[in-house]
Chains A and B, each alone.
Chain A
Amino acid sequence: MNTAPAAGPVLAVRDLTISSGPVELVSGVSFDLARGERLGLIGESGSGKTLTALAAIGLLPAGLTARGQVLVHGQDLFRISERVRSALRGSRVAMVFQEPLSALNPTMRVGKQIAEACRVHRPASASAARARAIELLERVEFPDPARQARAYPHQLSGGQRQRVMLAMAIAGDPDVILADEPTTALDVTVQQQVLALLSRLAAEEGSALVLISHDLAVVSGMCERIMVLYGGRVAESGPTRQLLTAPRHPYTAALLATSAAVTLDGGGETPRMVLPVIRGQVPAAGAFPAGCPFRNRCDRATADCEQVPPLAPAEGTAHRVACFHPVEEGTDVRPAP
């Protein structure tokens, strides 16, 4: 991985707050993404993970207001014109969506769609773009790229469509690839292939990767740093290893306990054992409690938690927690193997 400190982070999000009218959907999210780094964004519904990703590429839906800064290649996406933003999309920041069927034009052959993506950033003749498209299809492991370029999206399988999306994403040689639940809609065997491909492509391109998922297992295998979102705020962020072996935020710990209990290896050997759960459920947007959004589901909450806990480093490490009563350092929450 190419880390060039002089170049600074390829993506810097500072105090991002996204609101729909009076309701804050994302509050005060900040993070930096270094060149070639892989960040996993973990969250359930209402966590704000998708909105954060959309903000990072400047594609927030109309009707939402956003504050803060999103710095790509030194430019704040919120302060530049749409024309400049479009130029950055694809060439600096690219996105892979969850459901490729809706992200692809059903009436256009896939080869042509990839060629379109190429020509946006590198003006070229139609035939040159077509050649590049076939080249990209080969890179995303299509066995017969010249022929398969002529297929329509509905003629391809889910995994193939997602690979077409990957081809379109790398067409502009982006610095950052945002992948929003790229494999959630796919079969598990296909998921494995697509994730491996994503990993390889990011490495080859030297791109940083933001992998958004609800699945801790997926993210643990692919990313060296994880950020956990809950209720629109960052609950915890840190190196994967630390976060997964010794989580400090009660929500992370609970999520980890649940994921580790229902698993193929280790986990609970007893069938149908009682799983650890987080009481209550994720509130609807706008219904999160003031202060720490997790406090109405947390056994450790006290009156202190009515204030928003700041995201602070834990003992000078890169691991940061937003909690007034973090889980004790060194507690291993995984069920015994």
Chain B
Amino acid sequence: MSGQPPDLAAPPLLEARAVTKRYGGVTALDDVSLRVDAGATVGIVGESGSGKSTLSRLLLALEAPTAGEVRYLGTVISGAAAGRRGRAVRGQPDLRDFRRTVQVVFQDPVSSLDPRMRVHDILAEPLRALGLGGERARVPELLDAVGLPVTAARHYPHEFSGGQRQRIAIARALGPRPSVLVADEPVSALDVSVRAQILNLLTSLIAELRLTLVFISHDMAVVRHLCDEVAVLYRGTIVEQGSTSQVYGQPAHDYTRRLLAAVPSLRRFED
């Protein structure tokens, strides 16, 4: 799908420019720059403490960087980030368009769905929040797109399995017809066999809906499978980035090499 080279003259869809994020005395991200072009599939790999989740929250304007800026289609959005508890900052650009076009799927399907809401409401919420109508028609469409029966709408999240809940989370993200999907470890909490189903689902959705994907994970193999570009995060800095085949095939940085070497591989009994 993303065989087309990005148009570097146009502003990138989403961009982090030299962002730094500190929490008290701890530096989670230090001078990180990342560029996501339309139609790209970008993977962000890192272990715990790498800052990858912080980066995803900054890219989603759910938190404001301590320094640097996050831009969406050339416009700075990082100043408009709401505070940690949802307090809006006055006098900042309206994020409505951004919120519609950039959606997120989180890792834990248990905690990312409100246990007190039926699936129909969970899927309709983004539409209501963004002032888009048509939930009656849209909800069945979304369930169908992720391979769930239309009757699922009446039920509560706890009645579904982990893989099904993740499908619901994906369906929710697709509601507002986004162009960008940010997926933060969406398959890590799932069984191996379910993981393959969800990955296939993501693959087909990316192709059908021409989505731009930002995929955050610690799982290098999954990132290799899904993404054409990759950035390797280590302790808050990007140590290496480039095309997946390049970074995985000829890793330049020592950490990348260590990371690749550490991934357990299926023994090949070639003799």
Contact = CB atoms under 8 A, between A and B. Distances in A.
Interface of A: 44-45, 158, 187-192, 195, 214-218, 220-221, 240-241, 244-245, 254-256, 258-268, 271-278, 281-282, 284
B196 interface: yes
Main DSSP-derived SS at the B contact region: helix
Interface stretch (B70-78, B91-99, B130-138, B259-267): B259-267
A26 B269 CA distance: 32
A281 B268 CA distance: 28
Given A271-B228, A272-B1, A274-B200, 6 more contacts: A188-B263, A191-B262, A259-B192, A262-B195, A264-B221, A267-B225
Given A188-B259, A262-B199, A281-B163, A214 B266 contact: no
A221 B264 contact: yes
A281 B218 contact: no
Which of the four size classes fits the interface of chain B? 35 or more
Contacts of A245: 269
A277 B221 contact: no
B192 A214 contact: yes
B206 interface: yes
A259 B194 CA distance: 12
Given A262-B196, A264-B260, A282-B161, A188 B266 contact: no
Interface in B167-200: 191-197, 199-200
Contacts of A191: 262, 264
B203 interface: yes
Contacts of A244: 266-267, 269
Contacts of A221: 264-265, 267
Given A187-B47, A189-B262, A271-B244, A264 B206 contact: no
Interface string B199-227: 11001001100000000001011101111
Nearest to A254: B193
Contacts of B156: none
B258 interface: yes
A268 B266 CA distance: 14
Contacts of A45: 162, 191
B48 interface: yes
B72 to A, nearest CB: 25
A87 to B, nearest CB: 36
A283 to B, nearest CB: 9
A272 B225 contact: yes
Contacts of B221: 262-264, 267
A258 B225 contact: no
8 contacts: A44-B192, A187-B47, A195-B264, A244-B267, A261-B196, A262-B199, A271-B224, A275-B196
Nearest to A183: B264
Interface of B: 1, 41, 47-48, 161-164, 191-197, 199-200, 203, 206-207, 218, 220-222, 224-228, 244, 248, 258-269
A256 to B, nearest CB: 8
A241 B199 contact: no
B48 A158 contact: yes
B161 A188 contact: no
Nearest to A258: B196
Contacts of B260: 264
A261 to B, nearest CB: 8
Contacts of A214: 191-192
A154 to B, nearest CB: 15
B193 A278 contact: yes
A259 B225 contact: no
A263 B266 contact: yes
Contacts of A218: 264
Nearest to A265: B265
A276 B200 CA distance: 9
B139 to A, nearest CB: 22
Given A272-B206, A272-B226, A282-B161, A258 B264 contact: no
A273 B204 CA distance: 10
Given A189-B258, A276-B196, A282-B161, A264 B1 contact: no
Contacts of A215: 192, 264
Contacts of A275: 196, 199-200, 225
A241 B269 contact: yes
A148 B225 CA distance: 41
A30 to B, nearest CB: 25
Nearest to A42: B192
B158 to A, nearest CB: 12
Given A214-B192, A264-B248, A271-B225, A277 B197 contact: yes
B265 A188 contact: no
Contacts of B222: 262
A256 B193 CA distance: 10
4 A-B pairs with the lowest CB-CB distances in the bound complex, closest first: A187-B47, A217-B264, A44-B191, A192-B262
Contacts of B248: 264
Contacts of B203: 272-274
A220 B266 contact: yes
A336 B209 CA distance: 30
A266 B266 CA distance: 10
Nearest to B213: A272
B45 to A, nearest CB: 10
Nearest to B255: A189
